[in-house]
Amino acid sequence: MERSSSVVQPVRQKHPGKTKEVDEKKEGKLQVEQEATDEALADQKVMAGEAQDRRNIWEPSVYYALGKETFYFAGHDISIRESLDTYGALIWPGAIALCQFLENNQQQVSLTDKAVLEIGAGTGLLSIVASLLGAWVTATDLPDILSNLTFNLLRNTRGRSLYSPQVTSLCWGQDLQRDFPYPSFHYDYVLAADVVYHHDCLQELLQTMRHFCRPGSRTTLLWANKMRFQSDLRLAESFESSFNTTLLTELPQQEVRIYKATAK
């Protein structure tokens, strides 16, 4: 008669210390995420305050939520139509600072007959000035920005610039090789001004900069930004580690820095 045997399944022992460690890691991760969210919300309030300050100086319009700003660059009056609907359709300090720099330093940065790409073009002020300084310009931004951007570019460059500026959609980090394959799309200069206000796409911004300013491309990147937030400083650190960078100028009163960069 065979003796029956029973198989005892092993019991997994619980380790209170390990469970506590996992819980602490989860809590730490949640705390970091909450702090990042709180920082982003606080920064958004600052941006909204700056935007409201700009809106308060505009004359009210019955029909359109638009304002107009007039500038004088490259020997021309430039009239810019701004929109209340999005931060991307407002003029920010970095764009004005970079326009002034380009106009005052044409021997150092000559745009004549150069292919220039602007990312996050917004109202188009910087692209307009680059066009008036002799560049062949492609201005890019999100699809909902393009209508006002195109209006401003045509209004201020028609009959004034050697090359008619182009406008096209570009979403940072998306379909770059498909829509802007290298070397078919090669630019002498890439311009970016006050593009750091969407906290959730800063890595995509850097990825886009790297796509157009890559080793062997001989492309020069000019980035101007008002350093408002910790996120701006963090991006500046990542920017400096990603490229060979030079701080061209710093405007303490406006809190604006202008960088020049080439691929490492």
Residue 175 located in a structural domain: yes
Q: Identify which of 167, 161, 181, 170 has the alpha carbon closest to the alpha carbon of residue 74.
A: 161
pLDDT category of residue 18 using cuts at 50, 70 and 90: low
Residue 42 located in a structural domain: no
Question: How far is Cα 261 from Cα 206, in angstroms, rounded to an integer?
Answer: 12
Residue 159 located in a structural domain: yes
Residue 97 located in a structural domain: yes
Tens-digit pLDDT profile for residues 133-191? 999 999 999 998 999 999 999 999 999 999 999 999 999 999 999 999 988 999 999 99
Distance from chain centroid for Cα 255: 17
Count CB atoms within 10 A of the CB of residue 36. Answer: 13
Residue 173 located in a structural domain: yes
Tens-digit pLDDT profile for residues 78-106? 999 887 555 556 788 899 999 999 999 99
Domain range enclosing 193: 68-263
| Counted domains in the chain | 1
- What's the pLDDT score for residue 56? 46
Q: Which CATH number covers residue 242?
A: 3.40.50.150
C-alpha gyration radius of the chain: 25
pLDDT category of residue 58 using cuts at 50, 70 and 90: very low
- What's the pLDDT score for residue 57? 42
- What's the pLDDT score for residue 115? 98
Question: How far is Cα 60 from Cα 25, in angstroms, rounded to an integer?
Answer: 52
Residue 62 located in a structural domain: no
